[in-house]
Amino acid sequence: MAIIEFGGVKERVVTRDEFPLDKAREVLKNETVAVLGYGIQGPGQALNLKDNGIRVIVGQRKGSKSWDKALNDGWVEGETLFEIEDACKKGTIIQFLLSDAGQIQAWPTVKKHLTPGKALYFSHGFGITFKEKTHIEPPEGVDVVLIAPKGSGTSLRRLFLAGKGLNSSFAVEKDATGKAYERVMALGIAVGSGYLFETDFKREVYSDLTGERGVLMGAIAGVFEAQYNCLRKNGHSPSEAFNETVEELTQSLMPLVAENGMDWMYANCSTTAQRGALDWRHKFREAVAPVFDDLYESVASGKEAEIAIKKGQDPDYRAKLDEELKELRESELWQTGAQVRKLRP
The angle at the Cα of 192, spanning 191 to 195, to the nearest 5 degrees, equals 115
For residue 192, give the 3-state DSSP assignment.
coil
pLDDT digits (tens, 9 = 90+) for 161-200: 999 999 999 999 999 999 999 999 999 999 999 999 999 9
Contact 120, 96 (CB under 8 A): yes
Q: How many domains does the chain have?
A: 2
pLDDT at 35 over 90: yes
* Cβ neighbours, 10 Å, residue 255: 11
Q: Is residue 110 situated within a structural domain?
A: yes
320: β partners:
none
Residue 254 sits in the same domain as residue 121? no
Report the C-alpha gap between 220 and 152 in whole angstroms.
Answer: 17
113 is known as an active-site residue: no
pLDDT at 140 over 90: yes
Residue 109 sits in the same domain as residue 141? yes
Tell me which residue range forms the domain holding 83.
Answer: 2-199
Choose, from 124, 135, 236, 282, the residue flagged as catalytic. 124
Q: Is residue 207 situated within a structural domain?
A: no
Q: Is residue 138 situated within a structural domain?
A: yes
- CATH number of the domain at 98, please: 3.40.50.720
Given this model, what pLDDT does residue 1 score? 78
325: part of which helix (H) or strand (E)?
Answer: helix 317-329
pLDDT digits (tens, 9 = 90+) for 37-80: 999 999 999 999 999 999 999 999 999 999 999 999 999 999 99
Distances (CA, A) of 29 to 37, 142, 146, 177: 23, 19, 20, 17
Count CA within 13 A, CB hemisphere, residue 44: 25
